[in-house]
Amino acid sequence: MPALATPEQQNEVSAAISERLPAKPRDSFRPTAALTAVFSALTTINSLWWVLSPQHTLAPVLFAWLLLTALLGLVSLVGSSRAAHRPIQWLTWLAQPLGIAVIALVNTTYADWVGWANLACSVATTIVTGLVAYMAYNSDISTPKAQTNSKLADFRVLMKFRIISLLLLTTLIPMYLANGGEWPKFYIVVLTLLGGTLAAGGANAINMFYDRDIDAVMSRTKKRPLPNNRLTQWEVLGFGLTLSVLSFLVLLPVNLLTAILAVSGIFYYVVIYTMWLKRTTVQNIVIGGAAGAIPPMVGWAAGTDINLFVDSPIKWLPAVFLFAIVFYWTPPHFWALAIIRREDYAKAGVPMLPVVKGEAETRRQIVLYTFIMIALSFMLVSLQVVGLLYLGLAMVLGAIFLYYAANMMRDHSHAAAWKLYRYSLLYLALLFVAMGIDRALLG
């Protein structure tokens, strides 16, 4: 009669089996992929109508569809990172530049080549997103975990693409607003988004290099490439510095101010926040939040040839309020996560607000900052950057945000904090989309 396995042996067998099991895709990926394909198809129909219409009367409607397609595409990109099937990953990644090209090609010149190029990009995006949706529903979208542990995947982790996608949206819309409701030249849009991606990715990589000691302690970060010894510290630092230098070179043809703002964002995030504030003050995320608020200013600078020494400061005022919205959005967004990860931060010795002042004070501060953020979001209407459609959407989005923030005052569970954290990401994306839709439809 064979001997019974000990608990330790059973655990080893379970671990071995789990390593062979396929990674499960994110539950929301399938419907998100389907919605993205549907919106891409609608964009193609609109693009065709726009090309055939002598007066291009559907341009504003087309723009609204494009923004929705871009937003769903970003969500789909996040979903693909959880679905380990390589073809789906690469197809979804391919859909992103195609979607960006569709948006970038829309302008008010109505040149023939722009219309046809737009239609070609729309058709290509529809094909790609359709294939992604088909594969998501009709094929095995998983693969053994061991196959995903490549260096390329580790470098992608360093860049934090899920965060970058939101930063790019807060860069893209200000470009459109700053240029009077028209898209800048195609190369400006492409270079700005590419430079923004490189700048954010470089800053994130350098941040992981500097924080490698506390990342190894925290459960949320201990599986990153550096604490797990999948990359060396010099590979991480070299990768971050290379991306940072490239971002400046890529943004320089746009204009000098855009390149300087992007580099200042890298400096602020790495030096001011990561190296100085993060480990020394409870106000780390408040003051350090300015780094994440710079992308709207980068977009505004790229969308207009503003000269800070000659032009009136009024011309730059909308960008300041866009900066302020993201600045005051950051604390409630991040503190919700900090409450959930309070023990991690305490173990790592990081003086986050919930660790130093307690969760009750953190919840009170979340509500306070939410009120300020909502009030600032309305100021864009008084500056005539956007109109009443945006105002209505901003009020609804802000009311939902405030509900989740206030709910945390009575519901002290982590579930309530997760709800606010997740909605805060959606709120910022939808708020900027509302700005673009309002300007496109109402002028």
Band of pLDDT at residue 44, cut at 50, 70 and 90: confident
- What is the structure's pLDDT at 156? 82
Q: What is the pTM of this model?
A: 0.71
Tokens of 392: 């209505």
Delineate the domains of the chain, giving CATH numbers in brackets.
27-148 (1.20.120), 150-311 (1.10.357.140), 329-443 (no CATH)
In angstroms, rounded to a whole number, what is the distance separating the alpha carbons of residues 6 and 18?
A: 18
Question: Interior CA angle at 117 toward 71 and 40, to 5°?
Answer: 30
Residue type at position 57: T
Instruction: Reduce the DSSP state of residue 353 to 3 states and report it.
Output: helix
Q: Is the pLDDT of residue 380 over 70?
A: yes
In angstroms, rounded to a whole number, what is the distance separating the alpha carbons of residues 147 and 22?
A: 10
- Are 432 and 169 spatial neighbours (Cβ–Cβ below 8 Å)? yes
Q: Give the gyration radius of the chain's Cα atoms.
A: 23
Band of pLDDT at residue 158, cut at 50, 70 and 90: confident
| pLDDT tens, residue by residue, 188-211 | 888 898 899 999 999 999 999 998
Tokens of 287: 């003051």
- Are 99 and 36 spatial neighbours (Cβ–Cβ below 8 Å)? no
Structure-model confidence comparison of residues 76 and 31, the more confident one: 31
**Neighbouring residues of 16: CB distance < 8 A, sequence distance ≥ 6:** none
Distance of CA 351 to the CA centre of its chain: 26
In angstroms, rounded to a whole number, what is the distance separating the alpha carbons of residues 81 and 164?
A: 14
Tokens of 370: 């939410």
- Are 267 and 139 spatial neighbours (Cβ–Cβ below 8 Å)? no
Residue type at position 337: L
Query: What is the share, in percent, of the chain residues with pLDDT greater than 90?
Result: 35
Tokens of 125: 């995006």
Mean pLDDT throughout 156-177?
A: 86
Q: Is the pLDDT of residue 123 over 90?
A: no
CA distances (Å), origin 224, targets 77, 92, 151, 158, 201: 20, 23, 12, 8, 15
Mean pLDDT throughout 228-252?
A: 89
In angstroms, rounded to a whole number, what is the distance separating the alpha carbons of residues 8 and 294?
A: 51
| pLDDT tens, residue by residue, 92-112 | 666 666 666 666 665 545 566
Q: Is the pLDDT of residue 59 over 50?
A: yes
Give me the phi and psi of 144, to 5 degrees please.
-55, 140
- Are 183 and 60 spatial neighbours (Cβ–Cβ below 8 Å)? no
Residue with tokens 């470098």: 155
In angstroms, rounded to a whole number, what is the distance separating the alpha carbons of residues 360 and 358?
A: 6
**Neighbouring residues of 87: CB distance < 8 A, sequence distance ≥ 6:** 135
